[in-house]
């Protein structure tokens, strides 16, 4: 502490000339700081100029990006049948692109008339249905969900359900007894007694009977 006091004592001016000098030194330091601050405030914008920090400009560049997803109203312009089936039905809360992916570019560039299936849009299959409709304790109880092991296991969702209106046509049950009959495919071949509808895969008895359940009473 004595050292500090001595140091300060030595610096204290001892004559009027010294006092004036000290005062001028203080004023000039203050003036330099003032000029420095004002100078920086002026020079920095000049140096950095339009490269300075202008968030509004950057926000505009974010706003100028191109959307990849369109609105359902845009889809309606060309796809009226699907739109009519979808609107007002149980899937009406699911937007077109929720299943069909981003389509803004398609909507902007597709020719007015194009053969169905020619534009390479992803047509979702049953695995997409399962993502929403597989039964899970975490989903709200009121939401339509099925245990896939028990709900026509082995069948294709889209065989019975219309994807846009979500209407389900229950598959007709097997009306006749199965006792002492050959395999289903023997009679229900594509060109056979009762042809297999489109969309059905030629497969084993178990696959057919997964959806076309046998009547429970007797065989």
Partner 1 sequence: MRETGLAGTPGQNVSPTLSRRRVLQLGAAALPALCGARLLAGALTGSGVETARAADATAPADGYDPSAHSWAFAVDTTTCIGCGRCVDACKQENHVPAEPEMNRTWVELHVLNQDGSVRVSAPDGGIRGFPTEETMPEADAADVRDAYFVPRLCMQCENPPCTWVCPVSATYKNADGVVLVDETRCIGCGYCMVACPYGARYMVPAGETTPKGVAGVVDKCTFCYHRITRGQLPACAEVCPTSARIFGDRNDPQSAVSVALNERRVRVMKPGLGTRPRVFYTGLEGEVD
Partner 2 sequence: MSVQVAGRTVSADPRVAVRMIRLEVAGTPRPLKLWFALLTVLCMIGAVGALIALPPGWEVLGTSPTVEWGILITGYVFFAITTSGLCLASSLGTVFGIEMFIPLEKRHAILALLSLITAFGLIALDLHYPIRMVFGAVLSPSPFSPMWWMGVFYGAYLVFLMTEVWSMFTGHWQVHRFACVLSSITAILAPTTLGAVFGVLAARPYWHGAFTPPAMVTAALLSGIALLGIVFALVNRFQLAGWERATTLAIPAIRLLMMIVLPVTMLVLAWQMMFGLYGVVPGLADATKAILVGPLALQFWIIRVGLGLLVPLVLVVRRRSRTPTGLFAASCLVFLGLLADRMIFVSAGQIAPGTAVAGVVSSPWAEYTPSPVEIAIIVGAFAFFALVYTLAERYLPMGEHEGHLVGSFLGSTEHPGGTREEPAEPVLASEPILVSDAVPAPDAVPALDAIPAPSVAPVLDPAGGAL
Return residues touching partner 1 (CB under 8 A).
Answer: 43, 46-49, 51, 53, 55-56, 58-69, 71, 91, 93-95, 97-98, 101-102, 130-132, 134-140, 143, 145
Q: Which residue's CB is nearer to partner 2, number 4 or number 64?
A: 4
According to the binding rule CB under 8 A, does residue 16 interact with partner 2? no
Q: How far apart are CA 79 and CA 94, in angstroms?
A: 16
Tell me whether residue 7 or residue 112 sits nearer to partner 2 (CB atom): 7
- From 16, 17, 176, 180, residue interacting with partner 2 (rule: CB under 8 A): 17
185: helix, strand or coil: helix
CA-to-CA dists, residue 195 to 80, 155, 203, angstroms:
31, 18, 14
27 to 46: interface string for partner 2, x by CB under 8 A: -----------------x--
Instruction: State in angstroms the smallest separation of the CB of 37 from partner 2.
Output: 13
Burial 88-124 (b: 16+ CB within 10 A, else e): eeebeeeebbebbeebeebbeeeeeeeeeeeeeeeee
- Interface with partner 2 includes 87 (CB under 8 A)? no
């Amino acid at each position: 502490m004595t050292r500090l006091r001595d140091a300060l004592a030595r610096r204290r001016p001892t004559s009027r000339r010294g006092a004036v000098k000290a005062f001028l030194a203080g004023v000039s330091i203050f003036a330099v700081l003032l000029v420095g601050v004002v100078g920086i405030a002026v020079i920095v914008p000049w140096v950095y100029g339009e490269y300075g920090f202008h968030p509004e400009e950057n926000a505009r560049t974010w706003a100028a990006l191109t959307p990849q997803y369109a609105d359902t109203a845009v889809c309606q312009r060309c796809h009226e049948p699907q739109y009519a089936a979808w609107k007002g039905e149980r899937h009406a809360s699911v937007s077109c692109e929720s299943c069909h992916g981003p389509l803004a570019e398609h909507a902007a560039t597709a020719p007015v008339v194009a053969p169905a299936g020619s534009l390479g849009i992803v047509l979702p299959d049953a695995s997409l249905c399962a993502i929403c409709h597989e039964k899970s304790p975490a989903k709200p109880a009121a939401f339509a969900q099925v245990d896939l092991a028990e709900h026509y296991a082995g069948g294709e969702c889209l065989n019975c359900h219309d994807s846009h209106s979500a209407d389900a046509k229950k598959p007709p049950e097997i009306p006749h007894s199965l006792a002492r009959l050959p395999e289903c495919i023997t009679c229900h071949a594509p060109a056979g007694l009762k042809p297999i509808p489109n969309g059905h895969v030629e497969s084993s008895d178990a696959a057919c009977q997964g959806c076309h359940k046998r009547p429970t009473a007797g065989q």
